[in-house]
Amino acid sequence: MSIEPPVTSPRDLDAAYAALSSGTAETPVRPIAGGTDLMVALTGELGPPPASVVDLRAIDALRGIAIDGDALTLGALTTYTDIRRSALCREHVPALVEAAATIGAAQIQNRGTLGGNIANASPAGDTLPVLLAAEAVFVLGSERGEREVRADRFWMGYRATALAHDELVLRIRIPLAADREMRFRKVGTRRAQSISKVVMAVAWRGNGTWLNVRVALGSVAATPVRAASTEAALEGRSPTPETADKAAEVLAGELAPIDDVRSTAEYRRLVAARILHRVVRDAGGW
Ligand SMILES: Cc1cc2nc3c(=O)[nH]c(=O)nc-3n(C[C@H](O)[C@H](O)[C@H](O)COP(=O)(O)OP(=O)(O)OC[C@H]3O[C@@H](n4cnc5c(N)ncnc54)[C@H](O)[C@@H]3O)c2cc1C
Pocket of ligand 1 (CB under 6 A): 30-38, 40, 56, 76, 103-104, 108, 111-113, 115-117, 119-120, 125-126, 163, 168-169
C-alpha 283 – ligand 1 centre gap (Å): 32
Pocket test for ligand 1, best of 120, 140, 142, 149 (most atoms within 8 A of CB): 120
Alpha-carbon dihedral 245, 251, 253, 254, rounded to 10 degrees: 160
Separation of CA 108 and ligand 1 centre (Å): 9
Q: Is the dihedral of CA 92, 96, 101, 107 positive or negative?
A: negative
> What one-character DSSP code corresponds to residue 43?
T
Instruction: Determine the Cα–Cα distance for residues 267 and 56; give it in Å rounded to an integer.
Output: 39
Per-residue pLDDT of the chain (286 residues; tens, 9 = 90+): 556 889 999 999 999 999 999 999 999 999 999 999 999 888 888 778 888 999 999 999 999 999 999 999 999 999 999 999 999 999 999 999 999 999 999 999 999 999 999 999 999 999 999 999 999 999 999 999 999 999 999 999 999 999 999 999 999 999 999 899 999 999 987 777 778 889 999 999 988 899 999 999 999 999 999 999 999 999 999 999 999 999 999 999 999 998 888 889 999 999 999 999 999 999 999 9
Predicted TM-score (pTM) of this structure: 0.97
Residue 180 CA to ligand 1 center (angstroms) comes to 28
Give 61's DSSP letter.
Answer: G
Question: Which residues 6+ apart lie within 8 Å of 37 measured at CB?
Answer: 112, 116, 120, 122
How far apart, in Å, do the first and last CA atoms of the chain sit?
60
